[in-house]
Amino acid sequence: MRHPILFALLAGSGFAMSGCEDSSKASVSRAIDSVVEVDHQNMAELMLAAGDPAEAVNFFATHLQQHPDNIQSLRGLARSLVRDRRVSEALPVWHRVTAHPEAENDDRVMLADTYIRANNWAEAEATLNSIPPTHESFDRYRLEAMIADSKQQWKRADHFYETAAGLTTRPSSVFNNWGFSKLTRGKPAEAEPLFNQALQHDPTLFTAKNNLALARAGQRNYRLPMVQMTQQERAQLLYTMAIAAIRQGDTTIGRTLLAEAIDTHPQHYEEAVRAMRALEAGGQG
């Protein structure tokens, strides 16, 4: 009499064990998926931060073949194409990103950035104008400043440069761009302290050193700035100031600076040598 009950219990136990196995397999599968996803995210971050741009493009493009609607991979591909200087290819990818249901305002900012890199200032401005003014970010104001510069709206540009500098812990590039804007306006005295601020935040930024030399030469101050520099950088800054001096009619000073640049450079300084020969040939003529 007990056999049916026993069989029922055993059968019930079998189903329970089968259910546990299925549940266990599902849990393992979810865990593996989670590990794979975390690994992909870590690899994606590594590719964007330090990977070779071309390799990063291949990495994200391959992932998108399997997951065509993954917005993180779309962003990664767009950013990597920009890093690889394939701007014309990056634009349609950014369009896919901004059309995605999970798109954010930062994506539209990056689309505007790519338009600027493509020298399409009108589309960049239109894209930024489509973003609500409540979205305040470093990249947005950096681009707003550049667009204002391109339209010679100097007060507006100054406002956006100042705002952008206050929204990042690494404002060296902003101060450098702001200073260069002042140079293009013919205001080297106002540009000089901005380049100094850029170098305070990043003493290795050579473009800021070179622009600082230009700003000082623009005031006919041909003394090298007191900044950290290698021997090769010193020669390059002397060359920059020499060319600026010659263009301003200070030919004798320019010749002296060229000679010093040639003597200072640790290798043969072809550009400075050519400039010296051209100067001497012009003087003989």
- The whole-number pLDDT of residue 280 equals 86
> What pLDDT, on the 0 to 100 scale, is given for residue 38?
42
pLDDT at 194: 98
| Per-residue pLDDT, 283 | 64
Q: What is the pLDDT of residue 22?
A: 54
Cβ 69 vs Cβ 96: under 8 Å: no
Distance CA 90, CA 114 (A): 7
- Residues of the chain scoring pLDDT < 70: 1-44, 47, 50-51, 283-285
Task: Give the closest residue to 238 by CA, choosing from 218, 223, 217, 257.
Answer: 257
User: Mapping DSSP to helix (H, G, I), strand (E, B) and coil, where does residue 178 land?
Assistant: helix
pLDDT value of residue 26: 52
Q: What is the pLDDT of residue 42?
A: 67
String of DSSP letters for 209-261: HHHHHHHHHHTT--SPPS----HHHHHHHHHHHHHHHHHTT-HHHHHHHHHHH
**Amino acid (1-letter code) at residue 102:** E
Buried/exposed 249-277: b ≥16 CB within 10 Å, e otherwise? ebeebbbebbebbbebbeeebeebeebbe
Q: Note the pLDDT tens digit of each residue in 84-99.
A: 999 999 999 999 999 9
Exposed, middle or buried by CB within 10 Å (0-12, 13-18, 19+), for 73?
buried
Angle at 29 between CA 23 and CA 30, to 5 degrees: 90
